Amino acid sequence: MNVSRFLKNVILAELFVPVLLLTIGIYHGLMQVIYRAGVIHQASVAKLDYYQGLTLHGVINAVVLTTFFAVAFGHATIAFYLKKEPNPRATTLSLILMVVGTLLAAAAMLSGKASVLYTFYPPLKAHPAFYIGTAMLIIGSWVAYWDWAVIYVRWKRENRDINTPLAVIGTLVNFTIWFVCTLAVAYEVLVLLVPWSLGWTAGVNVVLARTLFWFFGHALVYFWLLPSYIMFYTMLPKLAGGKLYSGMAGRIAFFMFLILSIPIGVHHQFGDPSIGRGIKLTQSILTFGVAIPSFITAFTIAASLEYAARLRGGKGLYRWIWKLPFFRKDVFLFGYLINGLILFIFGGLTGLVNASYSLNNVVHNTSFIPGHFHLTVAGPVFLAILGMSIFLVSQLTGKKIFLPTINTIIPYLWTVGVLIFSTGLMWGGLMGEPRRTNMGLTYLNPASEQYHSYWVISSMLGLAGGGIMFIAGFLYFIVFFGTFFRKQTAPSTIDFPVSESLHEEKRIPLFDTFRPWLLLMGIIILMAYLPAISDALNNTGRKAPPYQPSDPTPILPKNER
């Protein structure tokens, strides 16, 4: 479909801004593994502190990039499938809030006043600009979501007996999860953290703040993932040359994510003594439940890919796999998505370890945790963002892909890097290697009394994998910006590869409406979180003063020093 100049410029801006910042995020990702491998035995390089770099890496990669991309992809999806472009005023307001908020937060981080490990996680305290900026980024994404909801309602009134396109269901489910979960973190930021950061309150209820953060924090993972799932269901079978095995399976999976993505955040607080054991066990069970839609997706997409490969002449129990278009430049997006799926297999399996009420104690706060979540965030999430950003830039600008052969190699190179990197971190984590720690100062510094030689090999694996990921990221920037600045050769369009369904499936109203699922979502959230928040309010000591990440002593007011 042809797009207006306004929508084209908005989507391009929402891609260009975070990708430009991503250059900083990926640089600091490389610096993290260099510090942790003990190559550098100091606290900072080029006047950028280790924890400052860790915050920049986390916020840019996991919050700024993912939010901007989700909004840009949402604009494209709604416009393409519903044939209605978003409201210009709402879209402009959304973009302004997101950009200004990002700049505020970036200023706080770059000035060294917001080294808080990418989370809103007291007692680490950031400059108010960091909290206000991230809140503006979130609110800007809300504006886009509300506009899409209006478009959807109007479209549904005109098409009552027609199934809502699966991609639209996925987009609205994703942003409904995002809107609900960010309400908690908005309260944490605006009511608890901003007054504390401004000095209006002396301390903060750490348990309550962390409980509100994880109400948001784990649902955030599914906000990252669902754009990938939309591509898996609606594009990947078409790219493979086949059809989607079951569109109904996709609807079931998306609505299961809607009801189960949020009420599981307490499994990140298994080590928190203020939350009761019964609540932790309940949320652990719910966490295992959220794996079900992923299993549904794995079966459905595998069946779809096998069908496509056998159409191409694939034979045997497994040999059909080699008939898939892994390195075809005309369907390069297939390579990005299939590699994301491969990484997600390992990410999902290691995630079950974290979800276990007992096994979590073994890996809690070790490098196993970032090893796991890089298999998900740096796997299907990041690869889908990289591939789709190049796809959209090419289509919206009417320009051919720059260095198409390199473009097909990037996802495979990235996947090799992630597998090596995550193996090193998880191996080290099983041996007790800590996360978030500048080990070059202590544990991997031969001059330190805390030196541990048995973490050398695992951290070097992390360094090797991180180096490969950096090279893949560098090649991506060359392709992305090279495509962006090429000469236009075609009109601006959005033309997604749309997968047809293999089977004709009867429309079931339950899986084409949001009301019953929203009601069930609310009930489960209340059942899961009212007891947790009650514990956070009642089972806590005095409010905590602020801390710096590099110093174990609190920051006390001048009159108490």
Distance CA 193, CA 195 (A): 6
Question: Residue 350's closest CA among 379, 314, 329?
Answer: 379
Structure tokens at 341: 């799926």
Active-site choice (57, 75, 127, 218): 218
Active-site choice (223, 344, 435, 529): 435
Q: What Å distances lie between residue 20 and 7, 60, 74, 218, 480, CA to CA?
A: 20, 10, 20, 26, 10
Active-site choice (232, 374, 480, 511): 374
Active-site choice (41, 436, 452, 486): 436
Active-site choice (215, 270, 373, 484): 373
Residue 501 DSSP SS3: strand
Is 476 an annotated catalytic residue? no
Neighbour-count burial of 69, counting CB atoms closer than 10 A to its CB (0-12 exposed, 13-18 middle, 19+ buried): buried
Tell me which H or E stretch contains 115: none
Question: Residue 270's closest CA among 338, 374, 145, 369?
Answer: 369
Is 374 an annotated catalytic residue? yes
Is 6 an annotated catalytic residue? no
Q: Exposed e or buried b for every residue in 158-195, given b needs 16+ CB within 10 A?
A: eeeeebbbbbbbbbbbbbbbbbbbbebbbbbbeebbbe
DSSP character at residue 83: -
Q: Write out 14-70 in H/E/C secondary structure.
A: HHHHHHHHHHHHHHHHHHHHHHHCCCCCCCEECCEEHHHHHHHHHHHHHHHHHHHHH
Question: Residue 426's closest CA among 465, 477, 394, 467?
Answer: 465
The H-assigned helical ranges of 270-357 are 277-289, 291-311, 332-355
Active-site choice (222, 223, 336, 529): 222
Do strands 44-45 and 48-49 pair parallel, antiparallel, or not at all (unpaired)?
antiparallel
Taking every pair of Cα atoms in the chain, the longest distance, rounded to a whole number of angstroms, is 79
Is 218 an annotated catalytic residue? yes
Torsion sign over Cα 353, 355, 359, 361: positive
Sequence-ordered list of residues with C-beta below 8 angstroms from that of 533, at least 6 positions apart, any chain: 208, 211, 212
* Cα 461 off chain centre by: 24
State the amino acid at position 167 in one-letter form. Answer: A
Is 222 an annotated catalytic residue? yes
Count of H-run helices and E-run strands, the chain = 20, 2
The residues assigned a catalytic role are 218, 222, 372-374, 435-436
